[in-house]
Amino acid sequence: MAITKINNNTLSAVTTLPSAIATGKVLQVVTTPKTDRFSTSSTSYTNVTGLSVNITPSATSSKIFVMMDVVGGSGAYIAMFLRLMRDSTAIHVGTSVGNRFAATAGTGDDPSDQFPLSLTASVLDSPSSTSQITYKVQMATEASGNTGTCHINRSGEDQNNNQNGYFASSITVMEVSA
């Protein structure tokens, strides 16, 4: 890079710039924490309010590293399923076969009403876009009704005693140069 000086103390011109940013560099990080609670008894995926994040990639070649860290609980013998979304497209989910959910993470249907679980996932996504992208978490439960309710940031039981707690979840995205 060449710099021209005028009067030995003022920069007048930059004649060359680096041609490209090195690959694998983190260009931006955006995170959304969620400290309030969310519940659903829907057997279809529904958006978890407050667990979404927007990012606008600087180049179509950029990759987006997506990290989900969700604490969830459910009623006894109820399975809970989470999936990551890029706008309206599910990402980092298993293949659905028969009646099985295509999910990013989830719980079994063993008793979990007192024991919330930390459900995490990370994926390097290739959106090929320079438009704003929304990454979000969706949740579904195996059974509807009061006993089929699943929760974010609390246990299924949620009694006001020292055996229960409230928790925090988050979704974080990082743009990585490619």
pLDDT of residue 111: 58
Residue pLDDT, tens place only, 69-98: 999 988 777 889 999 999 999 999 999 888
Burial code (b: 16+ CB inside 10 Å, e: under 16) for 139-154 equals bbbbbeeeebbbbbbb
Cβ–Cβ under 8 Å, residues 31 and 172: yes
pTM comes to 0.84
Percent of the chain with pLDDT over 90: 58
| Secondary structure, 3-state, the chain | CCEEEECCCEEEEECCCCCCCCCCCEEEEEEEEECCCEEECCCCCEEEEEEEEEECCCCCCCEEEEEEEEEEEECCCCCEEEEEEECCEEECCCCCCCCCCCCCEECCCCCCCCCCEEEEEEEEECCCCCCCEEEEEEEEECCCCHHHCEEECECCCCCCCCCCCECCEEEEEEEECC
Q: What are phi and psi of 147, to 5 degrees?
A: -75, -15
pLDDT of residue 4: 47
pLDDT of residue 47: 98
pLDDT of residue 11: 44
Residues of the chain with pLDDT under 70: 1-21, 110-114, 144-147
